[in-house]
């Protein structure tokens, strides 16, 4: 049970850093809360000659009053940073430590000037297929290296958390809103929950990916779960589709990013046939499309009812007749955009 009140203040930040041996008792410390996080308190900390970042998960997400989730997620995020840091060291912030007393992690500070958030770049029309391919390479490298590892499976046995944070609010909440698609959505949720193959990030969205000088940096793995790697691919690809409606002028470039991501991801699938994995992406992606309009966590930028109706129409057709590959979904999306 969580008994420590929420929040990160200067005293708590100092307490965490001292326990982790990252700051001396008499060192001056300045901290500044970061904007953008919805499920955590996250702060920049400045100490003499160095900066770092401290993050602590909240029990209540800032997006929806009724969406309560277990705390302790920062422990999984820290553990994911540790594992991913060994596989793709340049593609994650370096973990500096995890404090189980307050449930907070400390990681290297990444200067936002040199590490813009990918979501913002995409919205500005900076859509580079090579970058999307690099994101996919990092994600699939983590999947490939953790696939079939019983030790990793035991460390990320977070099925109930993944259910609470992903399957319920996205797929099952959407099923409630769409009775005619409910069986299909519930089947996809069940299949996903039962597919335990590799270490999944769980929130591979452009808002959680920075574009650093050395390539993509993946953040925010508090939904980490040993489960279905197709989820990460579908989750990220879904955002590239939705952003075509947010930034219509960049739709062609966003779809080029989609193609590059999908090709690069599938080329790295070693633990099962890429056709099997592609089919699960083909099932999940339309479900996630619909979920980002009618689930508990709708994307904030689809405010025009015509855009929402468009997503519902395309996603529903793809759920009824699931495509075998991500490429087939891109074709359907392209075709629908061209004739809307
Ligand atoms: N190590 C870091 N260095 C600098 N900024 C960071 C770092 N980690 C996160 N951020 C910034 O904080 C934002 C929120 O972080 P994130 O881990 O995604 O938290 P949340 O779980 O609340 O979404 C990111 O979009 C990024 O701008
Ligand atoms: Mg985030």
Query: Ligand 1 pocket, 206 CB below 6 A?
Result: no
Query: Can you give the residue range of the structural domain that contains 48?
Result: 10-108
CA atoms within 13 A on the CB side of 250: 22
The percentage of the chain sitting over the pLDDT mark of 90, rounded to a whole number, equals 89
Q: Write the DSSP assignment of 209-221 as a string of letters.
A: EEEETTEEEE---
Instruction: Categorize the per-residue pLDDT at 39 as very low, low, confident or very high, splitting at 50, 70 and 90.
Output: confident
Edge-first strand order for the sheet with 50-57 is 30-33, 40-47, 50-57, 104-108, 95-99
Determine phi and psi for 106, rounding to 5 degrees: -120, 135
142 and 226 both lie in a single domain: yes
Higher pLDDT, 37 or 107: 107
CA of 242 to the centre of ligand 2 (A): 17
Residue 40 Cβ inside 6 Å of ligand 1? The answer reads yes
Which residue lies with its CA nearest to atom 19 of ligand 1?
37
Which of 90, 108, 126 lies at the terminal end of a domain, its last residue? 108
Which of ligand 1's atoms lies nearest the C-alpha of 40? 22
> What's the domain count of the chain?
2
Nearest CA to ligand 1 atom 1: 109
Place of tokens 């061209």: 338
Whose CA is closest to 293, among 279, 281, 282, 307?
307
**What does DSSP assign to residue 177?**
H
User: Are 77 and 131 part of one and the same domain?
Assistant: no
Q: 198 phi and psi, to 5 degrees?
A: -160, 175
Q: Is 116 in the pocket of ligand 1 (CB under 6 A)?
A: no
Does any domain span residue 1? no
DSSP 6: S
Inside any domain, residue 140: yes
60 has pLDDT over 70: no
Q: What is the CATH number of the domain that holds 166?
A: 3.90.1200.10
Could you count the other beta carbons within 10 Å of the beta carbon of residue 32?
A: 10
The residue among 73, 90, 108 that closes a domain is: 108
Residues 122 and 74 in one domain: no
Q: Say whether both 17 and 166 belong to one domain.
A: no
Of all atoms in ligand 1, which is nearest to the CA of residue 108? 1
Are both 24 and 47 inside the same structural domain?
A: yes
**CA 177 – CA 294 distance, rounded (Å):** 7
Ligand 1 nearest-atom number relative to CA 39? 22
pLDDT confidence of residue 10:
86
In a domain, 198, yes or no: yes
* Claim to verify: residue 247 and residue 181 sit in the same structural domain: yes
pLDDT at 3: 47
Lowest mean pLDDT of 97-101, 146-150, 241-245, name the range: 97-101
pLDDT band with cut points at 50, 70 and 90 for residue 58: confident
169 Cα distance to chain centroid: 14
Average pLDDT over residues 14-36: 93
Tell me the two tokens of residue 228: 């279905």
Closest-CA residue, ligand 1 atom 17, reads 220
Whether residue 113 lies inside any domain: the answer is no
Instruction: Tell me which of 108, 129, 154 is where a domain ends.
Output: 108
Whether residues 51 and 179 share a domain: the answer is: no
The CA radius of gyration of the chain, in Å to the nearest whole number, is: 20
Nearest to residue 171, comparing CAs of 192, 150, 189, 153? Answer: 189
pLDDT over threshold 90, residue 40: no
Chain-centroid distance, C-alpha 308: 22
The C-alpha atoms of residue 91 and residue 116 are separated, in whole angstroms, by 14
pLDDT at 61 over 90: no
Both 202 and 233 in one domain: the answer is yes
Using CA atoms, how far residue 70 sits from 153, 235, 281, in Å, is 20, 22, 27
Q: Which residues pair with 32 in a beta bridge?
A: 44
pLDDT at 73: 86
CATH number at residue 94: 3.30.200.20
Cβ(112)–Cβ(125) below 8 Å: no
For ligand 1, atom 23, the nearest C-alpha belongs to 37
Examine the pLDDT at 202 and tell me if it is beyond 60: yes
pLDDT digits (tens, 9 = 90+) for 283-304: 999 999 999 999 999 999 999 9
Q: CB of 219 closer than 6 A to ligand 1?
A: yes
Q: Examine the domain organization and report whether 97 and 128 are in the same domain.
A: no
Residue 186 CA, chain-centre distance (Å), reads 21
Question: 266: helix, coil or strand?
Answer: helix
For residue 68, what pLDDT is reported? 58
**Of the ligands numbered here, which is closest to the C-alpha atom of 41?**
1
Query: Is the Cα torsion angle 9, 222, 189, 239 positive or negative in sign?
Result: positive
In a domain, 187, yes or no: yes
pLDDT greater at residue 177 or residue 36: 177
Spacing, Cα 38 to ligand 2 middle (Å): 7
- Among 33-42, 78-87, 100-109, 247-256, name the one with the lowest average pLDDT: 33-42
Query: Ligand 1 centre and the CA of 208: distance in Å?
Result: 7
Residues 134, 21 within the same domain: no
Given a cut of 70, whether residue 317 has pLDDT beyond it is: yes
Asked whether residue 247 falls in the same domain as residue 289, the answer is yes
261 is a domain residue: yes
Give the model confidence (pLDDT) of 210-265 as tens digits. 999 999 999 999 999 999 999 999 999 999 999 999 999 999 999 999 999 999 99
Predicted local distance difference test score (pLDDT) of residue 2: 44
Distance 220 CA to ligand 2 centre (A): 5
**Which residue shows structure tokens 């820290």?**
78
Domain assignment present for residue 35? The answer is yes
Tell me, in angstroms, the distance from the centre of ligand 1 to residue 127's CA: 21
Could you tell which of 22, 33, 36, 54 is best to mutate to test the pocket of ligand 1, judged by most ligand atoms within 8 Å of the CB? 36
pTM tops 0.85: yes
Please check whether residues 91 and 142 belong to one and the same domain.
Answer: no
- The overall average pLDDT reported for the chain is 94
- On whether residue 5 sits in a domain, the answer given is no
């Amino acid at each position: 049970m969580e008994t420590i009140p929420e929040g990160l203040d200067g005293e708590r930040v100092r307490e965490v850093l001292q326990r982790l041996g990252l700051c001396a008792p008499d060192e001056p410390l300045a901290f500044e809360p970061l904007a953008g996080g919805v499920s955590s308190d996250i702060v920049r900390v400045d100490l003499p000659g160095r900066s770092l970042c401290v993050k602590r998960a909240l029990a209540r997400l800032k997006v929806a009053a009724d969406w309560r989730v277990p705390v302790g997620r920062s422990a999984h995020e820290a553990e994911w940073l540790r594992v991913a840091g060994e596989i793709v060291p340049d593609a994650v912030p370096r973990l500096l430590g995890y404090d189980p007393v307050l449930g907070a992690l400390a990681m290297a500070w990444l200067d936002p000037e040199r590490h813009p958030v990918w979501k913002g770049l995409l919205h500005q029309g900076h859509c580079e297929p090579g970058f999307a391919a690099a994101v996919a390479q990092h994600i699939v490298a983590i999947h490939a290296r953790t696939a079939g590892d019983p030790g990793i499976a035991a460390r990320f046995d977070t099925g109930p958390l993944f259910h609470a944070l992903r399957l319920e609010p996205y797929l099952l909440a959407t099923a409630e809103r769409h009775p005619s698609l409910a069986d299909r959505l519930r089947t996809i949720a069940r299949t996903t929950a039962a597919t335990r193959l590799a270490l999944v990030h769980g929130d591979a969205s452009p808002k959680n990916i920075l574009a650093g000088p050395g390539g993509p940096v993946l953040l925010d793995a508090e939904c980490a779960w040993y489960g279905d790697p197709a989820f990460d691919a579908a989750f990220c690809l879904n955002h590239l589709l939705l952003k075509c409606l947010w930034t219509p002028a960049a739709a062609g470039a966003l779809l080029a990013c989609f193609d590059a991501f999908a090709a690069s991801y599938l080329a790295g699938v070693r633990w099962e046939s890429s056709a099997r994995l592609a089919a699960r992406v083909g099932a999940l992606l339309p479900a996630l499309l619909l979920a980002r309009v009618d689930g508990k966590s709708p994307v904030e930028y689809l405010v025009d009812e015509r855009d929402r109706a468009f997503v519902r129409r395309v996603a529903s057709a793809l759920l009824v007749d699931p495509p075998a590959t991500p490429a087939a979904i891109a074709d359907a999306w392209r075709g629908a955009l061209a004739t809307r």
